[in-house]
Chain A
Amino acid sequence: MGYKTDWFRGIYPALVTPFTRDDRLDEEAYRRLIRYVLPHVNGVVPCGTTGEFSYMTIEERKRAIEVCLDEVNGRVPVLAGTGCPSTRETVQLTEWARDAGVTGVLVVAPYYLKPTFNEVYDHFRALDKLGVPIVIYNIPQCAGTHFRWWTAEGMLLDLENVVGIKDSSGDMPFLEALFEKVKGQVGIFVGHDEIVQAALAAGCDGAILASANLIPDIWQVIYRATLEGDLATAQEWQAKIQKLVRIVATCGPTQAVKEGLEMMGIPVGVSRHPILRGGSFRREDYEELRMQLEILGKIPPADVVYDLGGREVATRVAATPHTPRRVSGWDLRVGEGFAGPPFHEIAHIDLLIGRRDGPVGRAIARSLAGWGEARGLKVISERPLILLVPTVTIRTGRQRELFYQFAAEGIMMAVRQNIENGFLPEAALDDLALIINAFVHPAASIGRRVMLNNYKATVQALRKAIEGRPTLEQLFEEKAAARHPFRYAP
């Protein structure tokens, strides 16, 4: 029969595995990451799903676990991911991990060939003989196998070295069944970032999370508050990070966490292929994650100078490694942004920003004096000067409402926010002019989505125009895999 340990509780980050530019394990970056999370966590998980264990060789996994053990140096438990598709390989790696000194092992349901429940049970029974504490790991999104409460109960209560379960399914009824059947006898962890507060409040002993690489401190606050019965605080914090953790949980966790850490100044490289930049973790997700980290104060500020030709404006912004510290070329800077779904409420922004006395300002003046009214152009801000242009000819009253009311409000939300956070510095507002060409689909319905998508697309377009993104390096890296949605027939 399994048992409950004292150490299997609290917040455990599922550590990403840093890789160097030539795709080797980056041990220094790994140690830095561990040092960053360690003050806030109750344990760590090397080589979990977020750690890309399935893209690593056995030798690499062993080395990562060794580095982790060395850096942690006994301060918190190390729960090492040792799951493989076959029982044979899992046993070998688990045995090695036991001898290397891990506190316990986290073993994913054997995946890909979809063994039946009794085959899964015997897989864990074989591991049980090794004498190392085992946490069984349910993650149907990846493994393709979903434990049932009655299979999980069997493994949790029959096997003597099983100390708990991590459930990443996000399936609350499944967790509730576990509370009913095994609560207090083994540890129950939630692994789905979006429902942590609810799961802890309902009775989970802790959480193993991808997003705990990024915000271990906030997860610790939520965990502590729940332990102390302060549900209001826990709920408030979960709500504050909900968007961030939804992006991490649902948009390609490995790449999302890695790019997030990079934004925060903790470089860990990128995910191994086939995961790509701009893939499951889409470019619009990148921009949103950045905004969320920015709002939480996780992106360190830097001084940036805008060379407006003849005069310089200094500003201070939350800067990523890709933010230039000096921005010139304010004749014309170009940015583009895209946000969706839903399909008909997609926003697409073509944005120009430049000096009022340059091409952008001149074009605004000319268009207003000429065809402005006839073509539906509208000045929606004086500081900075912003001309809003409909990409699609407006024909109906509803289109007009969606464009001039909802889309325009979304665009202005983005502008106001970027004035506040310094990307549009107050001292430069009299000098700057923008042309924002916005697409609202003629069949759009949902006003709020139109507004929010235009907000997001404008933030992207603005940041990209100012920061000069995409970089050439990014273009070369991503050009082969780019897939234009209108390139193909239905």
Chain B
Amino acid sequence: MRVGLLPTEGKSTYRFMVLFLATIGILISSLPVIVVTIMSFSGSDNTGFPPPELSLRWYWDVVAMFTQEDANSAQSVVDSTVTSLLVAFIVMVISTMVCIPLAYALARGDRRIREGMELLFTLPLVFPLVILGIAFLLIAESLRLDIGIWRIVIPHVALVLPFVLRNCIGAMNGISVETEEAAISLGASPLRAIWDVVIPLMRAGILAGLIFALIISFNEFTITFFMYTIDVSTLPIWMYSRTVSSLDPSTLALSVFIIVADIVLIVLVDKLIAGRANLF
């Protein structure tokens, strides 16, 4: 518990402002989701909000969609989901493994280089995804190699790097040099100091980075839309090819499904990495 950041008692305006703004933030994030979730339980075909009756029929439709095979289509849902998970996993691993050493090097290095590199790694966010999608597609096709799943992994890694790096650097900012020096003075080699002391201290930031990588990759649509092939396709693409109308209540039910799937994945990652340690 930190003193001063958010006082637990007292009627100060500070506390009020913090809670007020935080609540607005929460509302903005969650209101559409709440509305959509409620609508997905709507009993009738086509009514406004709030729905007059509730039912699970759209969810049954979605389950049927998952289990029905469609011999005509290029990809089955199982294929797509497995690919999505595999891609997300690879992206998570690669991005974290390259960002941790980089964050360390930047935090302990020259200020100007750090700013330059931070800027460089923010670049993927700046280009509209559509342009990046076409550029990656054109490059991939001109390679004339069948690189399979890497078609999707490589652009995803690029997209995810800004977030992962930012979170790792943020984590590094809190680790003072003295901590490392203490470890070294106790006899550890510099590398051991990093491995045994710095990285565990970075855990929260690393975990945040992993979760970002997971969510962004798993749900990524625009660039994947350009890069997918008959053999390699992801869940968002499969979903897109299945939605008859973009705002059928069954689409809403499907979206809620995806939210639940994401939450499950997040909790999994959290438990695996943070264990019983605090996430934030």
**Mutual binders A and B:** no
Residues of A within 8 A of B (CB): none
